[in-house]
Amino acid sequence: MKLGREISEGGRFVRQPNRFTERIEEGGEHPPEPGRYRLYASYACPWAHRSLIVRELLGLQDAVGVTIVDPIRDEKGWRIPGGDPVTGVEYLSELYLASDPGYQGRYTVPCVWDATAGRLVTNDYPQITLTLETAFAPWHAEGAPDLYPAALRGEIDALNEVIFDGLNNGVYRAGFATSQEAYDEAVTKVFDTLDLLEERLATRRHLHGDALTESDVRLYPTLARFDAVYHSHFKCALRRLTDYPVLWAYARRLYAIPAFRDTTDFDHIKRHYFMTQTNINPSRIVPRGPELDWTAG
């Protein structure tokens, strides 16, 4: 995994910007239509994981197709086992280069292909779930949760920034740091954020009260990977998720929901991180454990 362009002079990890940021919206070049768009995702990637969760929660399986890539990424990027049934490509990189022949960054998931336009519309992972929640509302299943209610959007957006900076991206800043100062700064923020969330959830079932929202979806993939990967691989070793009684119970409550459980593949997660990120784990050995019961009440 090449990260040279994403490491600052101070040894801090700086995530690459998203290349494709067009919107799927009414009145635009890419209007929402069932069957027109395909989501490319990985069970291993936390950013893609949350788009898979939302697609399942909202019952959009028939409206938005999905292609799952292999968890082991090489120099060509994400491989599509058996080839993509829609575009016929074998690697996700082919869709990136078909959309922008001069593209030179990492080929990231999630991303969305517009079959009508014949190109990628977006790999803007923060926006993809919001698009599924808003632009695709006419195709939501009956009884689907409102994950981004208008009255709470300001609060949701504000908390999402805290979760992203301190935790979702914070674990990467700790894991990819190449200086002690950068690591100490990042890992301190990770656990400050976990402490804050432990306190917040002590008085509510979900992050914004009784109802599930976009914030819960954004937090869960990091919690699901924490003890299995981030605690050891990314050196976020001060405490484990299981050392936070409220957060651990909250994570298991979410896991009990089929959309969360059925998109959580610990085998894909562990093999991807430990076998792909050879700058951190050059031996590519996948560790045993930890033995956790995610189904415990």
Asked whether the beta carbons of 18 and 189 are under 8 A apart, the reply is no
Q: Is the pLDDT of residue 2 over 90?
A: no
Q: Is 96 a catalytic residue?
A: no
- For residues 110 and 68, what is the distance between their CA atoms, to the nearest angstrom? 10
Active-site residue among 40, 45, 125, 220? 45
Identified catalytic residue from 40, 96, 172, 244: 172
- Distance between CA atoms of residues 235 and 270, nearest Å: 15
Task: For residue range 31-54, list pLDDT tens digits in order.
Answer: 999 999 999 999 999 999 999 999
Measured between alpha carbons, how far is 78 from 68 in angstroms, rounded to an integer? 10
What whole-number distance in Å separates Cα of residue 48 and Cα of residue 200?
26
- pLDDT, tens digit (0-9, with 9 covering 90-100), for 162-200: 999 999 999 999 999 999 999 999 999 999 999 999 999
Structure letter (DSSP) for residue 50 = H
Q: How many residues does the chain have?
A: 297
- Residues forming beta bridges with residue 206, ordered by sequence position: 209
Asked about 172 being catalytic, the answer comes back as: yes
Percent of the chain at pLDDT above 90? Answer: 91
CB-CB contact of 234 with 172 (8 Å): yes
| DSSP string for 150-219 | GGGHHHHHHHHHHHIIIIITHHHHHHT--SHHHHHHHHHHHHHHHHHHHHHHTT-SBTTBSS--HHHHHH
Average confidence (pLDDT) over 197-210:
98
Provide the 8-state DSSP code for 74.
B
Average pLDDT over residues 194-220: 98
